[in-house]
Amino acid sequence: MKIRLAFLFILLCTLLSAQDKSNYKTIRVAVNDSIQIDSVSINPGRFQLRDISGFVIDSSKYTVDFKKSILIFRELPVSDSLIIDYLKYPDFITKTYSRLDPELILSDTKDLNTLYRLSQSNQERSFTPFEGLTTTGSISRGITIGNNQNSVLNSELDLQISGRLNDKVSLRASIQDANIPLQESGYSQRLDEFDQVFIELFSENWNIRAGDIDLVNPESYFAKFSKRVQGLQVQAKLNHPESETHLFASGALVRGQFARSQFTAQEGNQGPYKLRGNNNELFVLIVSGSESVYVNGVLVERGENKDYIIDYNAGEIIFNSTFPITSEMRITVDYQFSERNYSRLVAFGGARYKSDSFHIGVSVYNENDAKNQPLQQNLSSEQVQILGDAGDDMTQMTAPSAIPESFNENRILYKKELINGVEAFVFSNDPNDELFSVKFSLIGDLQGNYIISNTNAINTIFEYVEPINGVPQGNYEPIVQLIAPTKLQMIVINGGYTPSDKTNISFELSGSNNDLNLFSNLDDGDNNGFAAHLSFDQNIMRKDSSWTFSALGKADYIDDRFATIERLYNPEFNRDWNLDQPTGDQRFITAGVNLQHPEKGIANYSYQNLNYSGDFNGNKHNGLVDLKLNRLSVYSNSSALSTSSMRTTSQFVRSFNRLVYAHKKGWIGGKFAMEDNEQRDVESDTLTPLSQRFSSYELFTGIG
**Three-state DSSP class for 102?**
helix
Q: Which of 544, 539, 555, 655 is CA-nearest to residue 595?
A: 539
Q: Which of left, alpha, beta for 418 (phi over 0: left; psi -120 to 50: alpha)? A: beta
Q: Inform me whether the pLDDT recorded for 418 exceeds 60.
A: yes
CA distances from 294 to 66, 263, 407 (A): 58, 11, 52
User: Where does the pLDDT of residue 110 fall: very low under 50, low under 70, confident under 90, or very high at 90 and above?
Assistant: low
User: Model-level pTM?
Assistant: 0.71
Per DSSP, 191 falls in state G
Name the residue with higher pLDDT: 165 or 676: 676
Q: Which of 515, 519, 446, 432 is nearest to 476 (CA)?
A: 446
DSSP per-residue string spanning 550-595: EEEEEEEEE-TT---SS--S-TTHHHHTT-SS--S-EEEEEEEEEE
Which range, of 9-18, 106-115, 265-274, 402-411, averages the lowest pLDDT? 9-18
Q: How many CB atoms lie within 10 A of CB 226?
A: 16
Do the beta carbons of residue 179 and residue 156 sit within 8 Å? Answer: yes
Q: CA torsion, points 480, 481, 482, 488, in degrees to nearest 10?
A: -170
Q: List the beta strands (DSSP E) in 630-665.
A: 632-644, 648-662
The dihedral of CA 262, 263, 264, 267: what is its sign? negative
For the sheet containing 298-299, what is the strand order?
257-264, 330-337, 292-295, 298-299
Beta bridge partners of 702: 667
Alpha carbon distance 85, 95 (integer Å)? 22
275 within 8 A of 310, measured Cβ to Cβ: no
Q: Which residue has better confidence, 15 or 624?
A: 624
Instruction: Please say whether the beta carbons of 478 and 450 come within 8 A.
Output: yes
What is the 3-class SS of 216-244, one letter each residue? ECCCCCCCCCEEEEEEEEEEEEEECCCEE
User: What is residue 6's three-state secondary structure?
Assistant: helix
Tally: H helices and E strands in the chain = 4, 43
DSSP bridge pairs for 666: 703
> What is the pLDDT at residue 195?
64
* pLDDT for res 586: 94
C-alpha R_g of the chain:
36
Burial of residue 277 (CB within 10 Å: 0-12, 13-18, 19+) is buried
The more confident residue out of 668 and 37 is 668
pLDDT band at 191 (very low <50, low <70, confident <90, very high): very low
- DSSP letter for 302, please: B
Residue 178 has pLDDT above 50, yes or no: yes
- Let me know: does 544 contact 520? Beta carbons within 8 Å: no
Distance between CA atoms of residues 439 and 523, nearest Å: 30
> Distance between CA 219 and CA 432 in Å, rounded?
67
Condensed to tens digits (0 to 9), the pLDDT of residues 299-311 reads 898 887 888 988 8
- pLDDT in the model for residue 111: 55
Q: What is the pLDDT at residue 285?
A: 82
Q: Average pLDDT over the chain, rounded to whole?
A: 83
Per-residue confidence at 120, pLDDT binned at 50, 70, 90? low
pLDDT at 483 over 60: yes
- Tell me if the bond preceding 272 is cis, omega within 30° of 0: yes
Which of 499, 510, 569 has the alpha carbon at shortest distance from 537?
Answer: 499
Per-residue pLDDT at 373: 83
